């Protein structure tokens, strides 16, 4: 029995190598021929901001390096991941508004960003400030988005010389606390939400080991609902923002 073996010419081998190398290089490329940022992104962000609870807590990175264009892109990477999480606790109306804003920053997923370094730390802010900063990053990037290659921005960098804490605490990873309450206060709200806080603390301890944000590994039932739609109840009156956090064991 005769087996026919294809004859690979040197030219064919060279073409295959060039094709393979170009495909590998594209996986590390982060550039955009057409602008992914629409002209009305500010309108979409404003519509979302007008609809939601202004003091809804989120976290932002506090020690990203002040890189001219990479810094704006890095903040959008983290903002986009928060958008995905917020959609899981939003009602149908707000989910649509969140998706419109998420569409404006979803282009960051086209680039192969490395997991954040363990030196990255988070602090709490409110959703209105978070959206304002997101709009500012889009404004900064829009004139350059099609004119620059952002391949050197694929690894989020921390500010140099920032001391790393010996044991990561709540401030390092953006522990979320209730507005108006102070550490050490013994209130019904504190006791009622202890499972959620336990889950958040567990997430904080694991944050440096994975590509995630605070709350990313907690079930969605522990995230506070975003709309102020309280139901009649004869039990204790909780702050509206946290009413839907049901004490359950965090798995």
Give pTM, 2 decimals.
Answer: 0.60
Residue boundaries of the structural domains of the chain: 40-148
What's residue 156's pLDDT? Answer: 94
**For residues 157 and 64, is the Cβ–Cβ distance under 8 A?**
yes
Give the CATH class of 40-148: mainly alpha
d(CA 54, CA 130): 10
C-alpha to C-alpha distance for 173 and 163, rounded to whole angstroms:
14
pLDDT for 160 equals: 83
Q: Are strands 57-61 and 122-126 parallel, antiparallel or unpaired?
A: antiparallel
Q: Where are the beta strands (DSSP E) in the chain?
A: 57-61, 122-126
Give 36's contacts (C-beta < 8 A, 6+ positions apart). Answer: 104, 106, 107, 145
Confidence bin at 1 (pLDDT 50/70/90): low
Map 60-103 to HEC letters: EECCECCCCCHHHHHHHHHHHHHHHHHHCCCCHHHHHHHHHHHH
Per-residue pLDDT tens over the stretch 103-123: 999 999 999 999 888 899 999
Percentage of residues in the chain with pLDDT exceeding 70? Answer: 53
């Amino acid at each position: 029995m005769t087996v026919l073996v294809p004859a690979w010419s040197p030219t064919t081998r060279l073409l295959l190598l060039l094709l393979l190398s170009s495909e590998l290089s594209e996986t590390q490329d982060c550039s955009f021929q057409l602008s992914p940022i629409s002209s009305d992104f500010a309108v979409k962000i404003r519509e979302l901001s007008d609809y939601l609870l202004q003091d809804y807590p989120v976290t932002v990175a506090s020690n990203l390096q002040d890189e001219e264009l990479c810094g704006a892109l890095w903040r959008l990477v983290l903002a986009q991941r928060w958008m995905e999480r917020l959609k899981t606790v939003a009602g149908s109306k707000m989910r649509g508004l969140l998706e419109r804003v998420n569409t404006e920053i979803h282009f960051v997923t086209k680039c192969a960003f490395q997991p954040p370094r363990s030196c990255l730390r988070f602090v709490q802010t409110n959703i209105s400030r978070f959206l304002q900063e997101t709009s500012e990053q889009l404004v900064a990037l829009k004139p350059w988005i099609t004119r620059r290659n952002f391949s050197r921005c694929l690894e989020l960098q921390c500010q140099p010389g920032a001391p790393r804490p010996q044991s990561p605490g709540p401030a390092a990873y953006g522990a979320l606390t209730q507005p108006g309450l102070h550490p050490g206060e013994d209130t019904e709200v504190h006791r009622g939400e202890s499972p959620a806080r336990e889950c958040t603390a567990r997430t904080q301890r694991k944050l440096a080991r994975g590509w995630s944000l605070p709350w990313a590994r907690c079930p969605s039932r522990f995230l506070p609902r975003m709309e102020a739609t309280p139901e009649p109840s004869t039990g204790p009156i909780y702050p509206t923002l946290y009413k839907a956090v049901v004490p359950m064991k965090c798995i």
